[in-house]
């Protein structure tokens, strides 16, 4: 095996890191703590779905982010605890996430499960924007609207220090 192939394999097997946004009214870090594990239902964006389907692995690190609330920011840590599987809410006519165009034989929307790790202090969006070490963070890029974004190992390490 060439060293190139080996390093590619090692990289793909390595733990990856993600920032996942949730509206605390719907699912807060306290909900996750109480439940232990939550299915990350309701994602209706293809890029976010593809991250879950194609790139997330068991044990990947998750920054749990509160969005659309008085103080948006990172509120805790979690980890990916399942592979992607079909989102049941897409077939539920009573759900706000119902997608009449998705068929059970070809589910359009998938999600992973996320397991609680710990609550942290709230690291606000304003603090994150102010931090020179985070200027490249995907979720902070102008115009970003993705609810799931990759986090680099460097960003992850830096954020863990801030949240320790």
Partner DNA sequence: GCCAACGTTGGC
| Contact positions vs DNA (CB under 7 A) | 21, 44-47, 67-69, 72, 101, 125-126, 129, 142-147
Q: Rank residues 118 and 145 by Cβ distance to DNA and give the closer one.
A: 145
CB of 99 to DNA, least distance (A): 8
Dihedral over Cα of 103, 106, 111, 113: its sign: positive
> CB of 146: closest distance to DNA in angstroms?
6
**Which residue's CB is nearer to DNA, number 25 or number 30?**
25
Please count the residues of the chain: 164
Residue 47, phi then psi, degrees to nearest 5: -65, -45
CB of 155 to DNA, least distance (A): 17
Nearest CB to DNA, comparing residues 6 and 129:
129
Residues of 45-70 as b/e, b for ≥16 C-beta within 10 angstroms?
Answer: eeebbebbbeebeeebbbbbbbeeee
């Amino acid at each position: 095996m060439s060293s190139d192939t080996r390093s590619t394999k090692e990289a793909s097997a390595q733990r990856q890191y993600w920032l996942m946004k949730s509206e605390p009214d719907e699912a807060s870090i306290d909900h996750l703590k109480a439940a232990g594990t939550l299915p990350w239902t309701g994602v209706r964006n293809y890029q976010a779905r593809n991250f879950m389907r194609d790139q997330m692995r068991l044990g990947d690190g998750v920054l749990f982010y509160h969005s659309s609330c008085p103080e948006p920011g990172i509120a805790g840590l979690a980890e990916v605890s399942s592979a992607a599987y079909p989102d049941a809410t897409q077939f539920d006519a009573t759900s706000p996430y119902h997608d009449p165009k998705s068929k059970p034989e070809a589910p359009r929307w998938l999600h992973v499960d996320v397991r609680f790790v710990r609550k942290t202090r709230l690291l606000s969006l304003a603090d994150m924007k102010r931090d020179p070490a985070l200027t490249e963070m995907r979720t902070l890029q102008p115009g970003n609207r993705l609810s799931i974004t990759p986090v680099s190992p460097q960003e992850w390490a830096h954020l863990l220090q801030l949240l320790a």
